[in-house]
Structure 1
Amino acid sequence: MTKDHVNYVYDPVVLKGRNTEHPVHPLILSRSSPREMSGEDIPDRELMALFDAARWAPSYRNAQPWRFLYAKRSTVHWQKFLDIVKPANQAWCHTASALVVVVAHKWTVDRETGKPKEIPTASFDTGAACMALALEGSGRDLVVHCMFGMDFEKAYKVFGIDRDRDGVQCMIAVGKRPALTVRDREPRVSQRNPIESFAFEGGFVKVYHK
């Protein structure tokens, strides 16, 4: 086990701009999805630390269905990944340090029978791993931006992904914050729906928003 010391950062502007109904850990509350990145490379040890955080996410019977395909901007793989991003997102994520295609593996081996078994929560578990990755990145003062704006069909084709076994979920842009960051300007801090709109004691209550 490595013993590298990390001074985790909690974004003060985001913390100040968000209103909670109850105390929430600052690592969770200060996570955001900015788009400004410097274009600098990040060391492999930092990128691997994000993947290390992801592997500790909970999953169905510890199947760990998440798969991360990645490219660093300074490598021959970079353009292949960038070409999958929709033009509107290419306008900002071309300054990322790394691009990550997130895939959920749909199958595992049943412990009792030894036969292949579909993972019912593959997408859910992969989302949990993405959140763990994002929190670790945010704590390290990195930009971690998950996006849907990618060409999914092209991703299946380019990477030879078998959609019967694996499902492409999203792409993540990871990068360093530029010298002038979102916290140095008037922040656009996103808020969230009130708790009573999604947490219901005793059973489900339909809540419709106009």
Structure 2
Amino acid sequence: MTAMEQIQLENIADCDYEIFALLKQRYSPRVFKDKKISEQHVHQLFEAVRWAASSQNQQPWRFLYAEKGSNAYAQILDNLTNSNKTWAKNAPLLILTAYKKETNNGKENFHALHDLGLGLGAMTVQAQYMGIAMHHMAGLDYKKVQHTFSIPEEFHIATAIALGYYGGELEKLPPNLQDIEIKERQRMPQNQFAFKNCWETDQTK
């Protein structure tokens, strides 16, 4: 068993209540197998988004993706924060996510970002099913990338995503990121975010 396979096993969520196995297995690595994501798999990922729920079926999500070695990939990478650049360069595929700010009748689409999230949630589960890891990134210069790719003003860049098959070599990461990669996963307990009947201000209950 390789080091990354061992880390993948250790990163299976220690759930308080049993959930779907793919959800337990999902995590966000910073290193990936050195293997191109097949065109078929790319289409399957976006098909999962296509059938996600969206308010009034507006489907406001948009994506721009690029394979490692392409000029577009280099441009996306260049617009990430320095901390993300150090590891995102390991990904075979980079994606920019965006949403349409207004509805089809010209009103502000208050639910557009919510719908993008629903689509990405569907993509993430589909990716996990195919052994593909997704690392979502908020750290990018969205204004600069909007200009770089001539993205119309009616769309707002939201995040970037690094994708690749699980695996790779932990040694490709600098020591500080290797430590983060093997660190135990932690999440807040349900009683800090899910309240029955009334809003709990004292989240220690």
TM exceeds 0.5?
yes
**Which among 21, 26, 36 is matched to residue 16 of structure 2?**
21
CA distance in 2, matches of 1:69, 1:206: 41
Contact 2:191 2:203 in 1 (8 A): no
Question: Who is 2:114 aligned against?
Answer: 124
Q: Which residue identity lines up with residue 197 of structure 1 in the other structure?
A: Q
| Structure 2: gaps (5+ residues) | 1-7, 171-178
What TM-score comes out, normalization by structure 2 length?
A: 0.82
Deviation at 1:86, TM superposition (A): 1.5
Q: Which amino acid aligns with 1:14?
A: N
Using a 3 Å threshold, how does the CA distance of structure 1 residues 43 and 205 change in structure 2: closer, same or farther? same
1:75 aligns with 70
- Indicate conservation of the 8 Å contact 1:60/1:119, yes or no: no
The answer to whether the 8 A contact 2:32-2:168 is kept is no
Residue identity (%):
28
Residue in structure 2 matching 1:201, options 192, 196, 204: 196
- Structure 1, unmatched stretches of 5+, are 1-10, 110-114
Aligned residue for 1:159?
Answer: 149
Counterpart of 1:118 in 2: which secondary structure?
coil
In the alignment, is the contact (CA less than 8 A) between 1:41 and 1:74 conserved in 2?
no
Is 1:31 the equivalent of 2:26?
A: yes
Contact 1:64 1:125 in 2 (8 A): yes
RMSD between aligned residues: 2.3
Are 2:64 and 1:64 aligned? no
Q: How much has 1:116 moved relative to structure 2? A: 2.5
Quick one: structure 1 residues 133 and 202, their matched pair in 2 at CA, closer, same or farther if it must change by over 3 Å? same
1:145 aligns with 2:140: no
Going by fraction, where is helix more abundant, 1 or 2?
2
2:167 counterpart letter in structure 1: P
- The Cα shift of 1:30 comes to 1.1
Letter matched to residue 95 of structure 1 = N
Q: Distance in 2 between matches of 1:33 and 1:47?
A: 18
